[in-house]
Amino acid sequence: MTTARIYKPAKTAMQSGTARTKQWLLEFDRVEPREIEPLMGWTSSGDTRQQVKLWFDTKDEALAYATREGIAYRIEEPQEAKRRTISYADNFKFNRVGQWTH
């Protein structure tokens, strides 16, 4: 039986915006291990489902698809980004905790 992972991808370190982080992604789990081709050293696998990535607008659409197709799934809920909001002017406050070095 094939299994899949349904999750909302996080923003990569190279992204400044939030593109491709609003949709839900269904990825199939690997069934066969990867093999190293002896001549060139490339990795390959006979499992073609690991190449398939299905994007959905909502989590409910992804769940409905997996249920309809008989795919066992696990859901990974997104974690909220921990951001500290600070203004540029706070760098020059008189009651600053650390020393300003330049």
**Pair of tokens at residue 92:** 């020059």
CA angle 102, 13, 15 (to 5 degrees): 100
Q: Is the pTM of the predicted complex or chain greater than 0.75?
A: no
Q: pLDDT for 35-71, tens place per residue?
A: 999 999 999 888 888 899 999 999 999 999 999 999 9
Q: Look at the block and give the residue holding tokens 């915006």.
A: 17
- Contact (Cβ atoms closer than 8 angstroms) between residue 37 and residue 44: yes
Split at pLDDT 50, 70, 90, the class of 101 is low
Structural domains of the chain ordered from first start:
3-9+21-80 (3.30.160.190)
Least confident of 23-37, 55-69, 78-92: 78-92
**Model pLDDT, residue 73:** 96
